[in-house]
Amino acid sequence: MTTVINEHSLSLKQRAQSILKANDQGGYTVPTKGLYPYQWNWDSVLAAWGFSSFDVDRAWQELESLFGGQWENGMVPHIIFHKPDDSYFPGPAVWGADRSPATTGITQPPIAATFARKIYDEDRKLGLSRVQALYTPLLRWHRWFMTYRVEENAIVITHPWESGRDNAVDWDLPARQVDVSEVGEYTRRDTSHVNSDMRPKKADYDRYIALVNLGRNTGWDEKKIRDISPFRVADPGMTFILLRACRDLLWLCEELNDDANADKDEIEGWISTLEAGAQRLWNPAISAYDSLDIRTGKYAGSLSNASYLCWYAGIQSSTMLEHLNRVYQQLPYPVPSLDPGHPDFDPLRYWRGPVWPFFNALIGIGLEDAGQTDEALHLKNATNKLIAKEGFFEYCHPQSAQGAGGDNFTWTAAIWLSWIDRGMN
């Protein structure tokens, strides 16, 4: 039992709201104090969704702040460094992206269009002008993906951090081709906040920094990175999330534009491309959606929680449903970030086994939308029990529910408010 749920004077709803307010830095939200002191891309979008359950205006502020860091080419970076903080490495000087506000040179999964639509539905009168202002920046971000990151019709990542699943086994083999000989000495900050057994290993981090150096040395030129980087992996998570986001962007296009055909054909073309890309990521060897190394043409052999985002993307799969129900039978707190039958399954090391409550919300939304009501309800109830037992942690042990990573975590509080609590009313 943690201090989160030992505070008997506060309900889970009150506790979740207080976490969002405590992590609010004035227009943007940090994931948790100490470990993550800046504005992270998809964390921020989920924070907005959480705020929308009790403060819709503040929700729009969160999205507007995030898109305030958008690059001229349309990319929305994975971190915005609003103010100096030595507690995080690598900071803006390492990234070398010459801009204000300072940002990293990579992106993160584009969930913003999907949740902008959900927030708009909270109060269409209040949200109309806000979502209209965000529509073009969203369109430009999606266009950036489709311009620079489509290979085999799927979306590729150029750094493990872009996927949001930093040290997933999906990246192990591609990352081994990264030259770390010139990385040099550096001091990590994450392991001063969290047990190192729960974080990526040093060999992983060396490769992360090497890829940052590679990108910085090109001036974050996407064409140059495509040509020279050994790390280029088609990611089911990115592909499914952008496919879903394009469907929601198309809905916004038709909702907001008097001339709906202005962007409609372009967005529909993106949807068709990504649907084909999703099928390319089907690995028959494991009968599941899997990551694909573009450089070698080899699948990772990884049934991860990203594999279950097929329904979120609008793709039905009876085989994936069989996998999911098997995992439900094996673990009291699904969905693990790596299948428990995988030899590298580690229930407490970051993305190699733990369950992430916010990722469950994405999977659950997909299941609900696909009409898989029993599986969706099972996942929501299991996630609720996990949070009620341990509190609002970043991630948790899928068997014991032990909380791990950061505590008082924004996205865990946010999904409790906007996915679990509302679904129980």
The catalytic residue positions are: 166, 394
Tokens 């009501």 -> residue: 373
Residues 311 and 240: their CA atoms lie apart, in Å, by 9
Beta strands across the sheet bearing 102-103: 39-40, 79-81, 102-103
199, 191 contact by CB (below 8 A): yes
Residue 63 vs residues 40, 133, 142, 145: alpha-carbon distances, Å:
11, 11, 16, 19
348, 397 contact by CB (below 8 A): yes
316: left (phi over 0), alpha (psi -120 to 50) or beta: beta
Residues 64 and 288: their CA atoms lie apart, in Å, by 37
Nearest alpha carbon to residue 332 among 365, 375, 379, 367? 379
Helices 41-51 and 56-67 cross at an angle (nearest 10°) of: 160
